């Protein structure tokens, strides 16, 4: 299975990314003069996200979504929405695990109300790799939980 990122083919041309994102209702926030890096504010999985495209020699090499920082339970909701979409699109992840190596014995999927801990999952196909992470940036007790999705060819 090949993959795209918001309608742009991974490994394909980057020339129409800005136009495509405008059609999707996104606002470009990056340096418009750069051809190798595009950043937007938009919506995905019914949430506000920062969308980034990285290009090399005019070809899309990476796309990612960064969700806002939240308290753990709200970040878990973001994680669930993205994980559900990735699983529906690409099937069962080939690997998933808690972020902290000490928790690898407890592979329990993160749920609201659980003890806050990070989690990762990855999917791969013939022409793509997708991963999702739920991580704390700083204090695990505060609104420091972050979800991001990265898709590469």
pLDDT in tens, 122-153: 999 888 899 999 999 987 888 999 999 999 98
Residue 88 makes CB contacts below 8 A (sequence gap 6+) with none
Q: Which residue has the higher pLDDT, 101 or 47?
A: 47
Calculate mean pLDDT across residues 118-123: 94
Quick check: 1 pLDDT over 50? no
Q: What angle do CA 10, 11, 17 make, to 5 degrees?
A: 65
Task: Return the bridge partners of 56, or none.
Answer: 59
pLDDT of residue 106: 63
Reference 26, options 53, 1, 51; nearest CA is 51
Calculate mean pLDDT across residues 18-42: 90
Q: Which residue has the higher pLDDT, 35 or 46?
A: 46
pLDDT of residue 107: 65
The answer to whether the CB of 132 falls within 8 A of the CB of 67 is no
Report how far residue 50's alpha carbon sits from residue 4's, in angstroms, rounded to the nearest whole number.
17
| Beta pairing, strands 4-5 & 37-44 | unpaired
Q: What angle do CA 48, 142, 132 make, to 5 degrees?
A: 45
What's 49's DSSP letter? Answer: E
- Based on its alpha-carbon atoms, the radius of gyration of the chain, rounded to whole angstroms, reads 16
The answer to whether the CB of 123 falls within 8 A of the CB of 130 is yes
Q: Which residue has the higher pLDDT, 103 or 4?
A: 4
Report how far residue 107's alpha carbon sits from residue 17's, in angstroms, rounded to the nearest whole number.
37
Quick check: 100 pLDDT over 80? no
pTM of the model as a whole: 0.88
Report how far residue 47's alpha carbon sits from residue 26's, in angstroms, rounded to the nearest whole number.
12
């Amino acid at each position: 299975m090949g993959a795209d990122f918001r309608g742009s083919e991974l490994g394909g041309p980057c020339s129409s990314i800005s136009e495509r994102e405008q059609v999707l209702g996104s606002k470009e926030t990056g340096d418009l003069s750069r051809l190798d890096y595009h950043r937007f504010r938009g919506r995905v999985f019914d949430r506000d996200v920062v969308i980034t495209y990285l290009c090399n020699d005019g070809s899309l090499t990476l796309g990612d979504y960064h969700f806002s920082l939240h308290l753990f339970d709200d970040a878990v909701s973001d994680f669930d929405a993205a994980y559900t979409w990735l699983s529906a699109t690409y099937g069962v992840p080939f690997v998933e695990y808690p972020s902290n190596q000490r928790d690898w014995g407890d592979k329990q999927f993160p749920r609201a109300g659980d003890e806050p801990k990070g989690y990762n999952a990855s999917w791969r196909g013939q022409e793509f790799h997708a991963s999702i992470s739920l991580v704390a940036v700083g204090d695990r007790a505060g609104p420091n939980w972050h979800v991001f999705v990265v898709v590469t060819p």
